Structure 1
Amino acid sequence: MTTQTTEAPVREAVLSLTGVNKRFGAVQALTDVSLHVAPGEVVALVGDNGAGKSTLVKIISGVYESDGGEIRIEGKPVSVHGPAHAQELGIATVFQDLALCDNLDVVANLFLGQEVSRTSVIDEVEMEKESWRLLRTLSAKIPSVRIPIASLSGGQRQTVAIARSLIGNPKVVMLDEPTAALGVAQTAEVLNLVERLRETGLGVILISHNMADVQAVADRIVVLRLGRNAADFTVEEATTEQLVAAITGASDNVVASRAARHKGATDE
């Protein structure tokens, strides 16, 4: 079976992966995987459980080292030697668990581990000013930067985690399931944040199982299946049926069959 693939227009990539491989013992997690993200572009990375999405994200963010292949940032080959090195290279990651401290306020969470100091004293005033600047960049709806994270909603927590990723002026931001377990209003709020990231010229990689979210904000959709590239669609041309077929590896799947039956009944 051949998966239908729509080639996206070629743009200069801020992040480019070519021929990436990763093996864990007897398990080949990734085989010859490629991914390209341009500045100001949202690329959705989708696939079923076990497709290799998490492994690829961890390779990009420096948690794992690949067994082969090449990673380029703005055209220059790089080796990512850990999460801290990934940040230095301009790669920021917001993982699904957010890694926020509920008992600390917004400012403390934004600058946790990278506090601004002058003459060995933490500069609370400068950090608060920078916190408001970052939140304004995202058009964020946070009532105060001095309230504990525990008092924020799920969407607001995601906002703080995304704002924290912007410290250090990254070139690429990866968002791992940012709308998981959020309500409709909070999901819309987070999708607006993704739009803001695109408008600032950042390359964005969005990992999600929610096809509606993906189709709402992504420019391109890259499908992984069994650790390999399965399809690369432009969002305008990708239908839900095509996406499901690429993800499952089935040209005739339950969703497509049900849609065809419904269309037939309507026509009759």
Structure 2
Amino acid sequence: MTTAHPTHHRPTRRTDDVRIDLNSDLGESFGRWELGDDAALLSIVTSANVACGFHAGDPTVLRTTCEQAVERGVAIGAQVGYRDLAGFGRRFIDVPPADLTNDVLYQIGALDAMARVAGDRVRYVKPHGALYNAIVHHEKQAAAVVEAVLAYDPGLPVMGLPGSRWLRLAEEAGLTVVREAFADRAYTPEGTLVPRGQPGAILHDATEIADRCLRIVRREPVAAVDGTAVPIEADSLCVHGDSPGAVDIARTVAARLGAAGVAVAPFTAVGAS
């Protein structure tokens, strides 16, 4: 898998021999506070971006989520973020690069312990929230996250936005990169995500979202928030687990893709090794 490049001239592809990963952010409950329906989503998605305790999740939630993922054959990914429980990891923090590297190492290691006890291991790394958005352009923080993955396990794939500094630096460092598209988020004309605080940033119509996902799989452009046609390359599609109607959205997307002959499957192997 490689970092995406502009695809304006790529032909539409048939979907009867295509496979795509469907991922969701899970394990984000904390103590008595519950967020999302992880059990239901794990019966639909093929990869789980599991919180690692910094932006959400506690040890019991992390272990339970990993156990449920293993039971259902869902790949476990470490969703690393800023140390920001109060802000759910959606606030930018100007962390010194060395500290950020160690924060990411700590999170991967914590989740990997839970995954191994459950019978598998962490299969990939995906940044969360503000960190995800920052390293689209923030060179030093992107490099710090790359350094953490290299130090922990250079065989771990990393997931992110096509064209981001994060994926470019990761690819240059020899990591396998996984391009991600968002099922339920609006795009800018530049192919980045519309900030959550802006109108139209989050999509809610399950049928509309499923149709857009099929367009992405077919390599057809999708409409940006201003109506501009934007080409999006993707190896994986994300449905946010905390979005209203997330289960219905994920189920509708999976059904729409399946009806078009698209195989929904994890991009990485699942099972202890």
TM-score interval, smaller chain = 0.3 to 0.5
* TM-score, length-scaled by structure 2: 0.34
* TM-score, length-scaled by structure 1: 0.34
Give the number of the structure whose residues are more often strand, by fraction.
1
